[in-house]
Structure 1
Amino acid sequence: MIHALPGMGADRRMYPEPWPSIQDFVAHDWVRYSGERSLSGIARSMCDFCRINDGDTLIGASLGGMVACEITKIRKISRLYLIGSAVRKEEISRLLAVLHPLAQLAPVDWLRISAGKIPVELAQMFSSAEAPFLRAMCAAIFKWEGLGQSRTTVVRLHGRQDFVIPPPEAVDLLIDGGHLISMTHAAECTEFVKANYRLQGNVQA
């Protein structure tokens, strides 16, 4: 299976058409918040909630990618696609690192500020997100120890104008977009993932 995890404050709508055209692809919502205070805690909950098993592939956008990194420490994941995400907290914008305490007061507003111009659908997702979950995750990402050494193959897709998590030095696909390329450039991302699977000899394309 190919499990896709959304960004902070988002849900499965972060993966619109043509994402579902990938064989065995399933996009998930966040598990209902039950007091987790760390990315590793959310990762354990998502493993159970999403039924993620050894041998599966993960796709993670933004926060979803960081949580997916933690899942690779729990399950034997064959491949991880990070979309506008990070492998360590130092990759997150320095400005957001300074401003993140504001998220404890108004997490939804902080997310809107950090994302900049956002699609209407994502704004609707923000409005329905659980505030305690957002507060906890805003704090957790800046305490995260990162992916570290991993046997999982990591493939990175990133927006050239991403100001939340600026493009890292090593990128497999650099798109002329911002932080929300899984939505705004869904076709490009999907085609790249399909092509990558074909090159690796997989059937999920």
Structure 2
Amino acid sequence: MVYLFSGLGADHRVFQFLDLKDYPTKTIEWVLPFPSETLELYAQRLIHEQIQQKDNLILIGVSFGGIVATEVAKILKPRRVILISSVKNKHELPIYYRWIGMLQLDRWIPARWLLTPTLLTYYSFGVRSKQEIDLLNDILRNTDPIFLKWAIRQILTWQSIQKIENLVHIHGDKDRILPYKYTRNTIPIHAGGHLMIIRQVTQINAFISKLI
């Protein structure tokens, strides 16, 4: 069974071009966090509520979904974990993200600023085509601000350093949200931005077919 973890606010549409037709799949649905719920407890709740099959698992996570997938993997020990445009541990987050988290500067940024698409948004995500822009706009429109603020805080304060077994990390070398230079032991995708799962999906599919 392949469980899919999308990015912040995204849904199954980010996986629409992945070639997984030969495998049973389920996209994990983001639910609102409880007050003061930690990422570790949130992962446990997702397992309890949405992951029925516990054996012979494959987890595929994009961006924030990759972070959640690693937390789930610590508990379930899946056969394979595939991260796309994500990070494996806190050391792969840019140091300035951790500074923002320590200073709690994110608490002062209104969610509506982050959910309003601008040219800077498109540049950061590396989107250029109308298809990519329309998808990103739709994702932002459908993102719950409470979930967004909570998830950003979890990313900025993530402390995980545990090595996840059977993990493979695919990352674009032009990712501006989670820069490639901070990652280690990755499969690089040339000219891949943060939403490369749309534009460079052919290359990603080639790797995934070998991995699972």
Which position in structure 2 is the counterpart of 1:172? Answer: 187
Which position in structure 1 is the counterpart of 2:49? Answer: 49
User: Take 2:166 and 2:92, find their aligned partners in 1: how far apart are those partners?
Assistant: 19
RMSD: 2.4
User: Take 1:62 and 1:192, find their aligned partners in 2: how far apart are those partners?
Assistant: 18
What SS class does the counterpart of residue 4 from structure 1 fall into? strand
Which position in structure 1 is the counterpart of 2:171? Answer: 158
User: Take 1:2 and 1:153, find their aligned partners in 2: how far apart are those partners?
Assistant: 14
44-53 vs 7-16, which deviates more? 44-53
- The superposition leaves residues 151-205 of structure 1 with CA deviations (integer Å, 9 ceiling, x where unpaired) of x2110100110121112232124342101122222222122101223xxxxxxxx
In structure 2, do the counterparts of structure 1 residues 82 and 182 end up closer, same or farther at CA, with 3 Å as the change threshold?
Answer: same
In structure 2, do the counterparts of structure 1 residues 8 and 178 end up closer, same or farther at CA, with 3 Å as the change threshold?
Answer: same
What SS class does the counterpart of residue 156 from structure 2 fall into? coil
TM value normalised by structure 2: 0.80
Which position in structure 2 is the counterpart of 1:16? Answer: 16
User: Take 1:183 and 1:43, find their aligned partners in 2: how far apart are those partners?
Assistant: 26
Which position in structure 2 is the counterpart of 1:182? Answer: 197
In structure 2, do the counterparts of structure 1 residues 160 and 148 end up closer, same or farther at CA, with 3 Å as the change threshold?
Answer: same
Unpaired segments ≥5 residues, structure 1 = 198-205
In structure 2, do the counterparts of structure 1 residues 58 and 159 end up closer, same or farther at CA, with 3 Å as the change threshold?
Answer: same
Where in structure 2 are the equivalents of 1:104-123 lying within 5 Å?
104-107=108-111, 109-110=113-114, 113=120, 115-118=124-127, 119=132, 120-123=134-137
Which position in structure 2 is the counterpart of 1:68? Answer: 69
User: Take 2:161 and 2:13, find their aligned partners in 1: how far apart are those partners?
Assistant: 26
1-10 vs 90-99, which deviates more? 90-99
Number of residues of Structure 1 aligned to a counterpart in Structure 2 = 196
User: Take 1:131 and 1:87, find their aligned partners in 2: how far apart are those partners?
Assistant: 25
1:159/1:179 contact within 8 Å kept = yes
* CA positional deviation for 1:46: 1.8
Which position in structure 1 is the counterpart of 2:37? Answer: 37
User: Take 2:155 and 2:172, find their aligned partners in 1: how far apart are those partners?
Assistant: 20
- The superposition leaves residues 71-124 of structure 1 with CA deviations (integer Å, 9 ceiling, x where unpaired) of 012112111001011112232234444556346532353365564444211221
Unpaired segments ≥5 residues, structure 2 = none
2:160 aligned with 1:134: no
How many percent identity over aligned positions? 23
